[in-house]
Structure 1
Amino acid sequence: MTDALIPLDPEPVALEASPGAAQIAAYLAARMCHDFISPVSAIVSGLDLLEDPDAQDMREDALGLIAASGRKLAEMLAFTRVAFGASASAETFDPRDLEALAQGIFRYQRAELEWAVEAPTLDKAAARTALNLAQLAGAALPLGGKARLQAVHDGGGTVIAVEAVGPKARLRPDIAAGLAGEKLPDGMMHGHWVQAYYVHLFVAEASGRVFAEADDEKVTFAATLPAG
């Protein structure tokens, strides 16, 4: 882990008009609904085919669609429960369990994920950070590539870095703004921004720092979190 991956500005960003908790909750709910609607709609379409007397020759296709969409929805829900939710009462996580959640999401993206976590356990803030930064890295690779996530314990805290490398790798301005704690840029939808802003909020609450930078066909996300 190099110093270049560690945020340099220790001061939190002061916002003049930061969104309220209710608005953030509404944005997050809309984001989750957007993610879940595709597999749910596919399941409903499969059920409609099963009930259509004129489409009995498509029964196997319908069952396959329902099964595949059900697995996708289950993986997305499991990921979201930890990345965005309270995840029951768990305070520490096995990195192998987190990798399974992240790989489940990457099965439906063009990019690949290399999970290189050296830390034996991750606390709740670090686990949320790792999962969200992994998903943001996958979204930064619209034409495919590889996202490599590292996490190590360093000086009593945790350092997390994700490098997304691939053709047309891109750091969206709304994601950059959200991670920096800035309001949604004019003319942009809140779906990507709210995830990045949520990461900024819980990292700042843990007295940590998060940042992102873009280079030629590479986007880097990094966060430092002190020990809880």
Structure 2
Amino acid sequence: MPLDIRVVELLTSRFCHDLVSPVGAIRNGLELIEEMDEDEPNPAFMGEAIKLIDHSSGQADRRLRLFRLAYGLAGREMRGFVDARAAALGWTEGGKTRVDWPQGVPHDMAGGKPGLGKTLLNVVVLAEEALTHGGSIVVGGQGDEFSGRVTVTAQGRPGNLNPDAAAALAGTTAVDDLTARTVHAYVTGRFAEYYTLRLSAAPAGHETLVFTLEW
């Protein structure tokens, strides 16, 4: 699969966009502490600054952990789903969407399928993006390294992928037409193809979207 510079640029833009807010908040918290009167410290003010730094550093840490597995080499090397599950739960922590990913799902035997954990994590992120008003994401499935089926069910509004994301996922969008909003869908689809996974997304009733990974 040839390297496309535009895809690299868009992914980098996405990383920076998702990290600039928490990193900036950490800096703001440090500046508040630096501006405090050393002779007459304000405990309440100090507490708020520390709370801001703690919250923002945790957010940045969770996002970096997901990026490392979803896009980096570490995701390819996963043999099970523990780390991918933890990253998905951390990604949505404090947000409008809840992830229900039971421990032991999929079975560890399916972890032998190269790229499955990495691609599944990307699908969960894509499902969260589709739920613009929040909702729930449920992961289920079974199989081993040779065959199996995993589903990611997104419940909430709007219950479907927007046309641009759907086209990017399918690979029918020209690379020059990709944006920072659709590049994740595009990369998710290409990961599935690279790891010989069959990925589909289809509505299933009112405000329900089901992603299916088969191999």
* TM-score, scaled to structure 2: 0.84
5+ residue gaps, structure 1? 1-18
Structure 2 equivalent of residue 29 of structure 1: 12
Partner of 2:26: 43
Q: Alignment length, in residue pairs?
A: 206
Q: Which has the higher contact order (CA 8 A, sep 6+)?
A: 1
Which of residues 96, 101, 105 is equivalent to 1:115?
Answer: 101
The answer as to whether partners of 1:174 and 1:185 remain within 8 angstroms in 2 is no
Instruction: Name the aligned partner's letter for residue 10 of structure 2.
Output: Y
1:54 is displaced (CA, Å) by: 6.0
Partner amino acid, structure 2, of 1:208? L
* 1:86 aligned partner: 73
Whether 2:132 is the aligned partner of 1:146: answer no
3-state SS of 2:74 partner? coil
Question: Which residue matches 1:68?
Answer: 55
Assess, with a 3 A threshold, how the Cα gap between structure 1 residues 54 and 175 changes in structure 2: closer, same or farther: farther
Deviations 1:73-110, CA, capped at 9 Å, x for gaps = 1111111101011118x633332222111100110421
For 1:224, the aligned partner's letter is E
Tell me, yes or no, if the aligned pair for 2:6 and 2:175 is still in contact at 8 Å: no
One-letter code aligned to 1:111: T
Question: 1:145, 1:164 within 8 Å by CA — same for their partners in 2?
Answer: yes
Q: Distance in 2 between matches of 1:175 and 1:159?
A: 23
Q: 1:13-67: CA deviations, max 9, x gaps?
A: xxxxxx9611111111111111111111110111111111369532111111101
- Kept in 2, the 8 Å contact 1:149–1:163? The answer is yes
Instruction: Say yes or no: does 1:218 pair with 2:208.
Output: yes
Distance 1:190 1:108 in 2: 26
| In 1, Cα distance between equivalents of 2:179 and 2:66 | 20
47-56 vs 77-86, which moves further: 47-56
| 2:101 and 2:139 in contact (8 A); partners too | yes
Aligned-partner SS, 2:108: coil
Candidates 181, 203, 208, aligned match of 2:192: 203
**What is the distance in 1 between the residues matched to 2:121 and 2:95?**
14
What CA RMSD, in Å, does the superposition of the two structures yield over aligned residues?
2.7
2:164 corresponding residue in structure 1? 174
Deviations 1:187-214 (A, max 9, x none): x871231111111112111222212123
Q: Write the distance in 2 (CA, Å) between the matches of 1:25 and 1:158.
A: 31
Match of 1:15 in 2: none
More displaced stretch, 167-176 vs 124-133: 167-176
Give the residue type in structure 2 aligned to 1:72: Q
TM-score, length of structure 1 as denominator length: 0.80
2:65 and 2:155 map into 1 onto residues whose CA distance is 26
3-state secondary structure, aligned to 2:131: coil
In 2, the alpha carbon distance for the partners of 1:26 and 1:59 equals 39
Residue matched to 1:100? 86
* 1:39 aligned partner, one-letter code: P
Secondary structure of 1:135 counterpart: helix
**Cα distance 1:211–1:65, how it changes in 2: closer, same or farther (>3 A)?**
same
1:9-28 map, 5 Å: 21-28=4-11
